[in-house]
Amino acid sequence: MTVGGASSAASFVASYSTALREYLREPCERSLRVAYELGREAVNRQLNMLDLAVAHQEGLMSALAETSSPAQMQDVTRAAGDFFLESLGSFEMVQRGYREARDAARFERRQTEMSRQLSSFLADASLALDASDSLEEMLQLVAEQARELVDAECCVVTVALEGQPRTAEAASYSESEERHWTGFLKWLDLFAIYRLIRVSGGSVRVEGEQISDAPLFRSAVRRRPLRGWLAASLTALDESDLGAVQLFDKRAGAFTGDDEAVILHLAQLASAAIERTQLYRIRQ
């Protein structure tokens, strides 16, 4: 521990001991509230659970030195335990809140960086130089990134050109679930899906029984039940359909409005990249 850290811990021990003695003299809600605030203060001072335990031990030893009978020692120890548990409870609660906030911030930064990298890739003019290979590479990257960005079990990106529902396709899912998802994706009614997304305004988010009741998923769902579906259209500048990005089964909870916004943005970038490859192919 640094000198500053040691000074902070020593100051905290003194504050804790004083508050504990006041609580032992007058055990009430007001004095117990001080224990709660001390737990929060320990987190703000960047102390750990061991520092909190040491502060309690120091305060308890000081209080026990003033007792004169075993019965009194027992009462003091029990009351001091209540004080410690109150401090420990608030310490753990605040620590957990900090961890969750830190993890959320880290996840958001990672999402932003992934989106930036993908945007740069999709805007790269070299995608058009080898239209066939670059299209497959781009679709696979979109599928993998989309799945990770919204934490979905599966993502499939399909391109529909020249009247064909699967001119090109890429999918992302865990290796352990490959057999289930490949069978499921094969039975998707893609033309019906494209129409539904288009009439829904370019994106769709459906959960639970609504999926099972949807005719367009009937054949596929018999092979693998679904919990959630999120999809966005791939659309050309003239508003014609180029395909769709579809995600299935968010790992934790349901797909959110933020997830839908992310996929819409990703679909717009992918649509522009697909159009570039097609224009290059037409000119050859």
- CATH number for the domain running over 129-283: 3.30.450.40
pLDDT classification of 283: cutoffs 50, 70, 90: very low
pLDDT for residue 92: 83
Domain boundaries along the sequence of the chain? 3-101, 129-283
The span from the first CA to the last CA of the chain, in angstroms, equals: 68
Block residue for tokens 């990257």: 141
**Identity at 89, one-letter amino acid code:** G
pLDDT for residue 128: 43
pLDDT digits (tens, 9 = 90+) for 49-59: 888 888 888 88
Mean pLDDT is lowest, of 107-111, 126-130, 234-238, for 126-130
Block residue for tokens 């919990």: 227
pLDDT digits (tens, 9 = 90+) for 118-177: 566 555 544 444 444 567 888 888 899 889 888 999 999 999 887 788 888 999 999 888
Q: Is the pLDDT at 1 greater than 80, yes or no?
A: no
pLDDT for residue 240: 86
When pLDDT is averaged across residues 187-208 and rounded to a whole number, the result is: 89
Percentage, residues of the chain above pLDDT 90: 17
Percentage, residues of the chain above pLDDT 70: 78
Q: Mapping DSSP to helix (H, G, I), strand (E, B) and coil, where does residue 124 land?
A: coil
Q: How far apart are CA 7 and CA 123, in angstroms?
A: 54
The residue with greater pLDDT, 100 or 90, is: 90
When pLDDT is averaged across residues 39-52 and rounded to a whole number, the result is: 84
Class of residue 69 by CB neighbours under 10 A (exposed 0-12, middle 13-18, buried 19+): exposed
When pLDDT is averaged across residues 28-35 and rounded to a whole number, the result is: 85
Dihedral sign (CA 155, 161, 164, 168): negative
The residue with greater pLDDT, 99 or 42, is: 42
When pLDDT is averaged across residues 36-50 and rounded to a whole number, the result is: 84
When pLDDT is averaged across residues 247-253 and rounded to a whole number, the result is: 91
When pLDDT is averaged across residues 175-194 and rounded to a whole number, the result is: 87
Contact 205, 229 (CB under 8 A): yes
